[in-house]
Amino acid sequence: MSGPSPFATWWATYALATGTVSVGLDSAGHAVLSRVVLALACGAWLVSAVSLLQRARGAWRAEVPAVFTTTAAAALLGTGFTAAGLRSVAWALLALSALVWAVLLAVEVRGRRGTVFLRCVATQCLAVQAAALAAAESLAWPAHAALVLLWLGLALYGFALFRFQPRQVEEGRGDHWFAEGALAVSALAGAQLLSADSSRLYLWNEDDGDVLRNTAVTLLVLAAACCVALLVAELFWPRHHYDARRWATVFCWAVTATATLEVAAALDVAWLDGAGQALLWAAVAAWLACTVWAAAAARAGARSSRVRSRARR
């Protein structure tokens, strides 16, 4: 069986990371900059989707992690389109994402060890988009569906945790950060569900609201603790060479910042909003650094290919 396509994997993970940065910028109030980044994410998502479709008849099972990543990215793009007021596009992306997610959920994820959390990530990204549409359209059913997805995603996280190999903290090339990012996107989903409530919808009673608040805060604290632990691990076991899996790390930083901002807004905690702003700009810096690193690696690869070609002649 042939392995996963590096090309499709790169563009899928880039789309996920970039789409998350866009959602974070919108949460922080930088609407124009968010739309620019959203356009980049859309272009990357289209490239990854076309590439995966071209491989659909071949080794499609090897591409399941990339398809899960593309599905999660589509849901976050839908969240960005919801914020931009393009709700028809957002509904279309939600329907497409939900359909692909439902088909893939029973398929074994074959790939690198960090990808075991992708089921949880994709599920919670769907919850985030459904909650955003519920708030924008003043509809109750997407919020109720998002609540089911939130609990399902947490159950999937528990299953993934048993499959995750702790040595990936030392050996992983970036996708091991999904262990943290899955917690952060779950916290984001919880915060979005809290923000979707209103006097008109009355989605949650007092007990429901308390459970959601406690869940969102607990998940955010766990994500922050996991983030610190993984950062310390990066200091002990530095990764000096570029790898496409680094975009998973960028996604995790960006979604942690976005979750912090949304939890701060849902709970009206000013100092947490300040922390979220700082984390967001750190995530933007990581996104820019990874972009430069990727360009440098591609240039070096092209130069090496030219040298080998001359040597053969």
Taking only the tens place, the pLDDT of each residue in 105-160 is 877 555 455 568 999 999 999 999 999 999 999 999 999 999 999 999 999 999 99
Q: What is the pLDDT of residue 44?
A: 95
Most confident segment among 57-61, 114-118, 156-160, 254-258:
254-258
**Topology classification of domain 6-298:** Glycosyltransferase (1.50.10)
Residue 51 confidence (pLDDT) above 50 = yes
Q: How far apart (Å, rounded) are the C-alpha atoms in residues 206 and 199? A: 13
User: Cα(170)–Cα(166) distance, rounded to whole angstroms?
Assistant: 8
CA 207 to CA 227: how far, in whole Å? 30
Q: Token pair 């709970």 is at which residue? A: 267
The residue type of 234 is: E
Whether residue 308 is predicted with pLDDT greater than 60 in this model: the reply is: no
d(CA 255, CA 276): 10
Domain ranges of the chain: 6-298
309 has pLDDT over 80: no
